[in-house]
Amino acid sequence: MELRDQNILVTGASQGIGAAIAGKLMQGGARVAVHYNSNREAAQALLAQHGNAGCVALAADLESPEAVKILFSESLEAMGHLDALVLNAGVFLPHPASDPLEDWWRIWKKTLSINLDAPGLLTRLAIEHFRSRGGGRLLYIGSRAAFRGETEDFLGYAASKGGLTSLARSVARAYGKEGIKAFTIAPGFTRTAMAEAAIAEMGPALRDETALKQLTTPDDIAPLAAFICSGQMDHATGTVIDMNAGSYMH
């Protein structure tokens, strides 16, 4: 995948889906800003393994709007400009209705802050930047939960991913004539540290709901993300692409 001369910010890139995408982009020649929350060692190891000249690791707590704004400005300072953003960072936190209301609301707010508010703010900043350059690409990592719904423990997660999908489609419609494209990849359960507890709990039942024998891995998703960032899918702007081993089709 030819990605030389592309500058791309990937959020949540120290592990899981984000790390696989960042690695694939760097393999294609892109300069990548590898965002991480607290795992600096993993981000630096990713750069050491794949990093091209100009790649950088940047820390930010995406619960903080100020930190989100600083992340964007530091990406521009390090790279000069951005051609694409991969908005991958997210949390998958249980908050069943049996929890005390204060605890339930705290997890709801945390989930929406990281999964939807931070991408929303980065989208706004990216639109302004892309307008000054004649265009750019936004890739949102959503979830099948936006379409299928989730269990009672993860209402906030499903709501956040539904909002993210609608945001991507709205950006595609509103800004396409200015050269700004937006896409969503919607995984199901993927073998990442974030999902391992749920995967272990569901066990065979989870495997039974997929059409394929194996669960999706981050490395299954990364090539598609790189293809989108390459510009070869621009006429599919606004599209949601399912990557869930056939566990949900619509």
Q: Judging by beta carbons within 10 Å of its beta carbon (0-12, 13-18, 19+), is residue 83 exposed, middle or buried?
A: buried
Among 11-25, 105-119, 139-153, where is mean pLDDT lowest?
139-153
Which tokens in the block code for residue 40? 């600096």
Which tokens in the block code for residue 99? 């929890």
Confidence of residue 85 (pLDDT cuts 50, 70, 90): very high
Confidence of residue 191 (pLDDT cuts 50, 70, 90): low
Please report, for the chain, the start and end positions of each structural domain, with discontinuous segments joined by +.
Answer: 7-229
**pLDDT at residue 199, as a whole number:** 66
Fold annotation for 7-229: Rossmann fold (3.40.50)
Mean pLDDT throughout 193-212?
Answer: 70
Confidence of residue 196 (pLDDT cuts 50, 70, 90): low
**pLDDT at residue 233, as a whole number:** 97
* Tens digit of each residue's pLDDT (9 = 90 or more) over 145-187: 888 888 899 999 999 999 999 999 999 999 999 999 999 999 9
- Rounded to whole angstroms, what are the CA distances from 87 to 4, 90, 115? 20, 9, 9
Whether the CB-CB separation of 186 and 241 falls below 8 Å is answered with yes
What span, in angstroms and rounded, lies between the C-alpha atoms of 47 and 162? Answer: 32
b/e per residue 144-156 (b: at least 16 CB within 10 A): bbbbeebeebbbb
**pLDDT at residue 214, as a whole number:** 82
What span, in angstroms and rounded, lies between the C-alpha atoms of 181 and 228? Answer: 10
Confidence of residue 245 (pLDDT cuts 50, 70, 90): confident
* Tens digit of each residue's pLDDT (9 = 90 or more) over 211-241: 888 888 999 999 999 999 999 999 999 999 9
What span, in angstroms and rounded, lies between the C-alpha atoms of 47 and 72? Answer: 19
